[in-house]
Structure 1
């Protein structure tokens, strides 16, 4: 089956908390349409009531309470309300990780919750695996869908599936595909990984990108990323046909652990600009593709 035939998922069933704007930090439970319970947290904007909410998708083996995610949420909350959650199989969420496939349901649940609780504008930012999820989500949930995003930023995202070109990614594949690796994932990283292969293979990030327009898209990547080299973000940007904005960050490593306060602030400003996302200066200009 061709991954390009993937269709949007059904509407989500979120928590039954009273709808309306929120002004305090809230721990909550969401539920995906396939019945997985997700732990989540809502943090209001520290600058005052905000129309925009940023939904944050963490990387593989992350969770809502990991220090790197909490640090990112704190910076983003200076500019907007923030919804963070643990993907299935991570933290105290239920289910098992499908490493980027069914996780799009988890993200849609969080986005829908933010819309139903008073935020007129909801945007997404994802790191690594979460970056691949926000790209697929933006492609699958288009205009008119309650789970849609108004802008999307993918940080340290892969362009294609099954990449094994670096030593860290070979270790990740061992963790995912081998029984011993999944035991290490459960007890060493607190991540419960599904033991079944994808069937069908989901839309890859680079296949998803052309379907995202006209939703604004930002691709952020470090030039010292040990997992995915810079051909990944360049491929994503090229697939957008000029629609995506690409920031290649000098000296940056991988995902939320390597995303500093200055970069998080620039991402937040890009996502929450009153006139909508637009060009924002990066430390250094880079070509999208090699000459």
Structure 2
């Protein structure tokens, strides 16, 4: 009760001082940070040519990217795959369809552009099975892809992949064939509040501060089923979760390495950037983060607990890291800026390898340049003797 009175005494005058409208904006901004998000339509379909099997889209920084992508749609198809850019004007882009669209199909105009490409494990044409991992949040579903060597004993190094914010396990499927060819079993996991795993009591994100416990449980699962060491791979917010596991897990001695794709290394850097992109100016972003750091206003914002941004800042905690890290991040990410990734690489050059990528946007390195992305992973794992050169 004393701590609550103290919080009220400290925070309420601040909110009153900045004005009622600003206070509402601050709390609403904080709420958006911790509220699990659903997929947002960000692309408009102009036309579909079922004869030529092409699709015309509004031109954006994402839809004009070269490579293979996906498009979440409604109507006859839930999801279609997109190939090469065939032409572009000032406002539109025409791409090859890799999903055969039948004449007469209905495809609604509003869609969501995606780097997932694969949406189900069946599409990989690899052996796999559904598993449940017991975690503090409850049983979390995962996909397990065994090693490629038929009939061989279980490989002693497993890969555990962790998806990002507002997505599901399917985000990780792009990487599975790479690890499969290397002979590494892969566990693709879910975590609390991601829409597949059980929700926590309050149903809000902790930005990695709580979710890492579910990844820790996945490490324990792997160790009980034949793994001796694990490679953790995190995508976007999954990178933040993996980094927290790397410094907090009871199994940290069994973590052989980290692979981070477009990771959140420091949330303050990310949230300031996203606030600027959304037209929100200081001091409102700083006040929103301050609201989440205080237990009273954090609850007003929908968070279950106060969020300690200092503990989520892995640049300032770089000295605590012990495992080699491959950091893959496009310098024009557009959603999670690469600044903190570069800062981590500069702070721990003994551990961090960060090849240069540009032009790929957020979590679309595989889509944009699959060859370079794959080579970066294979060469790095081989150099550290985590896989054999014969692969």
Q: Give the alignment's TM-score, normalised by structure 2.
A: 0.52
- Alignment of structure 1 residues 116-127 onto 2, 5 Å: 116-127=224-235
1:203 to 304, 308, 312: 312
Report the alpha carbon displacement of residue 269 of structure 1 after superposing the two structures with TM: 4.6
Specify the SS of the correspondent of 1:115.
helix
Which residue of 2 is the match for residue 187 of structure 1? none
8 Å CA contact 2:240, 2:312 repeated in 1: no
User: Which whole-Å deviations, capped at 9, do the CAs of 1:13-55 have from their partners, x for residues lacking one?
Assistant: xxxxxxxxxx9522111122x3432111110123444332110
Report the alpha carbon displacement of residue 198 of structure 1 after superposing the two structures with TM: 2.8
Which residue of 1 is the match for residue 190 of structure 2? 86
Structure 1 residues 87 and 168 mapped into 2: Cα distance closer, same or farther (>3 Å)?
farther
User: Which whole-Å deviations, capped at 9, do the CAs of 1:49-75 have from their partners, x for residues lacking one?
Assistant: 4332110011111212x2x32222233
Report the alpha carbon displacement of residue 85 of structure 1 after superposing the two structures with TM: 1.1
Which protein shows a greater Rg? 2
1:39 to 122, 141, 157: 141
Report the alpha carbon displacement of residue 220 of structure 1 after superposing the two structures with TM: 1.5
Q: Does 1:221 align with 2:324?
A: no
Q: Which has the higher contact order (CA 8 A, sep 6+)?
A: 1
- Alignment of structure 1 residues 64-143 onto 2, 5 Å: 64=169, 66=170, 68-79=171-182, 80-95=184-199, 96=203, 97-141=205-249
For structure 1, the 5+ residue unaligned runs are 1-22, 178-192, 278-291
Which residue of 2 is the match for residue 30 of structure 1? 133
Which residue of 2 is the match for residue 246 of structure 1? 354
8 Å CA contact 2:141, 2:190 repeated in 1: yes
Which residue of 2 is the match for residue 259 of structure 1? 366
2:159 to 46, 49, 54: 54
8 Å CA contact 1:219, 1:245 repeated in 2: yes
Which residue of 1 is the match for residue 10 of structure 2? none
> Partners of 2:173 and 2:386 in 1: how far apart?
25
> Partners of 2:245 and 2:278 in 1: how far apart?
26
Higher strand share: 2
For structure 2, the 5+ residue unaligned runs are 1-125, 289-300
Report the alpha carbon displacement of residue 104 of structure 1 after superposing the two structures with TM: 0.7
8 Å CA contact 2:239, 2:265 repeated in 1: no
8 Å CA contact 2:262, 2:338 repeated in 1: no
Which residue of 1 is the match for residue 35 of structure 2? none
> Partners of 1:231 and 1:246 in 2: how far apart?
12
Structure 1 residues 271 and 199 mapped into 2: Cα distance closer, same or farther (>3 Å)?
same
User: Which whole-Å deviations, capped at 9, do the CAs of 1:194-245 have from their partners, x for residues lacking one?
Assistant: 63353444332223432112x2122211122001333221111122253311
> Partners of 1:130 and 1:27 in 2: how far apart?
20
When the two structures are aligned, how many residues end up with a matched partner?
Answer: 230
Q: Give the alignment's TM-score, normalised by structure 1.
A: 0.68
Report the alpha carbon displacement of residue 83 of structure 1 after superposing the two structures with TM: 0.3
> Partners of 1:149 and 1:54 in 2: how far apart?
10
8 Å CA contact 1:76, 1:264 repeated in 2: no
